[in-house]
Structure 1
Amino acid sequence: MSTPSNSSSVFPLTDEPLKNLIQGPGDVEWRYEMRRECQEIIPGLLLGPFQASKSLEVLNSLGVTHILCIRDKKEAFSVKPRFPEHFEYLVLDVEDNEDQNVIRLFPQAHNFITESLDRKGTVLVHCNGGISLSPAFVVMFVMRRCQLSWEDALHLVQNRRYCISPNGGFLTQIKEYESIYKASVAVAGFPQGQMQRVVSRRKRDDDDDEEEIRCVHFWKLSPVLCVP
């Protein structure tokens, strides 16, 4: 288990740096027992199973400051914060099945992880096994953080934690999230003054449409209203 570099990276990257980021370290030999450990996905962001959150000594050695615990509701009695006096926690109760809407819950996770990274902290994201549920959230996070396609984001995470395998429902939502985050980036990059003019013009157009509808409605009624 490597110590997080916790460096400040600027995204999005391009060309060779981006390719290297996605491919990850090429000298790592994956071993089966590594699925019980956590791995660094990008600087300051760790992904792993619940097992990785149970040792205070290990967490301190990794410099962990925040822990995002994503658990199935049925696991709440066992998968829970172990050291609330040492770390800042966010717990998300979900259902680990293909029908669970992870996109709806993602903003909470995104804000929590972003806050940790902005404060130069290190955040561990885990579910029970670190195979499907928590990786889905991490893939969406690095997709947005690094401004990647869903395929590149998935490969980036898989190239560091080889055992991840989001279920079919989560994978579908990961694909859908690409267009969602790209739309938000486009809106954020739109000049505010120009955006206000567009909104104002759209409002005038809508008002004109409503007035036209009212006029048509009135003229349709007028013959009836004029009957003596």
Structure 2
Amino acid sequence: MQAAPSPNQQFTPDQLRDLIQGPGEEWTYEMRRQCQEILPGLLLGPLQASKDLNTLQSLGVTHIVCIRDAKEAFSVRPRFPEQFKYLVLDVQDSEEQNLIRLFPEANQFIEQAILQGGRVLVHCNGGISLSPSFVVMYVMQRLQITWEDALHMVQNRRYCISPNGGFLTQIKEYESIYKASLAVRSFPPQQSNANTRRKRADDSDDEESARVDDRKRQLVDDDDDAMEM
């Protein structure tokens, strides 16, 4: 099994192109019922893939993100809580559902699992719309690529994915969100410290000026008192 890329790992344009392009495997209908590895340590699939303990163990899965519509809770649920660590997200498979609000929890769970050397399966009922949308956002942010490239990368490994229109719109919106977050994190801390130092210096100058003004006023008052005597 490949080692998962570090969150700080940088890729050359050629490496990114190869990642996006995928292995070029021939896709068969039966593969819809299986899970596929999207990134080292990250797998995507349907409910059926989460129900086969032997397959999960053979793939080295340690963590599972179970994404379901609340009305599916009876069937789409953690099957092996003793063997795997689960994150369960109740998400409506509807174009109005806000995925961006729910994504940080899934992102943190996946990231921590991979950093610990684990392997994560992300699944929903069919592995077509709900779970792929979360995985596309994760891939986009992890590799710092466009939403189109992230979608193509996931689709080149699991050909049957098809996020609904509302999810696709949010995937596009998330590109600007994660890029803004990166820009904030890359803001030079020393510049911020310099601004703080300048502010402190300015405050000190203001305080000194105020003290000088107070002394001047005191001298003027003393002179006025002397002239009145």
Indicate yes or no: 2:181 matched with 1:166.
Answer: no
Match of 2:37 in 1: 40
Match of 2:5 in 1: 9
* Deviation at residue 201 of structure 1 after TM alignment: 9.1
Match of 2:132 in 1: 135
Q: Given residue 9 of structure 1, which amino acid in structure 2 is its aligned partner?
A: P
Quote the Cα distance in structure 2 between the aligned partners of 1:66 and 1:180.
27
Name structure 1 gaps, 5 residues minimum.
Answer: 205-228
Residue pair 1:116, 1:122 contacting (<8 A) in 2 also: yes
* Deviation at residue 12 of structure 1 after TM alignment: 3.6
The residue correspondences of 1:47-86 to structure 2 (distance < 5 A) are 47-86=44-83
Range that drifts further, 79-88 or 187-196: 187-196
Q: Given residue 15 of structure 1, which amino acid in structure 2 is its aligned partner?
A: P
Residue pair 1:12, 1:145 contacting (<8 A) in 2 also: no
Residue pair 2:137, 2:171 contacting (<8 A) in 1 also: yes
The residue correspondences of 1:201-212 to structure 2 (distance < 5 A) are none
* Deviation at residue 13 of structure 1 after TM alignment: 1.4
Match of 1:18 in 2: 16
Quote the Cα distance in structure 1 between the aligned partners of 2:178 and 2:11.
17
The CA deviation string for residues 185-210 of structure 1, in whole angstroms up to 9 with x for no partner, is 111111223235668999x9xxxxxx
Quote the Cα distance in structure 2 between the aligned partners of 1:24 and 1:131.
18
Normalised to the residue count of structure 1, the TM-score between the two structures is 0.83
Range that drifts further, 135-144 or 191-200: 191-200
Q: 1:35 to 1:201 in 2, by over 3 A?
A: farther
The CA deviation string for residues 70-116 of structure 1, in whole angstroms up to 9 with x for no partner, is 00011011100000000000000011100000000000000000011
Name structure 2 gaps, 5 residues minimum.
Answer: 203-229
Match of 1:144 in 2: 141
Q: 1:122 to 1:6 in 2, by over 3 A?
A: farther
Quote the Cα distance in structure 2 between the aligned partners of 1:177 and 1:9.
22
**Percent of residue pairs bearing the same amino acid type:** 68
Q: Give 1:124's match in structure 2, choosing from 87, 104, 121.
A: 121
Indicate yes or no: 2:27 matched with 1:30.
Answer: yes
Q: In angstroms, what is the RMSD of aligned CA positions?
A: 1.8
Quote the Cα distance in structure 2 between the aligned partners of 1:14 and 1:186.
20
Q: 1:167 to 1:200 in 2, by over 3 A?
A: farther
- Higher Rg: 2
Q: Give the number of aligned pairs.
A: 198
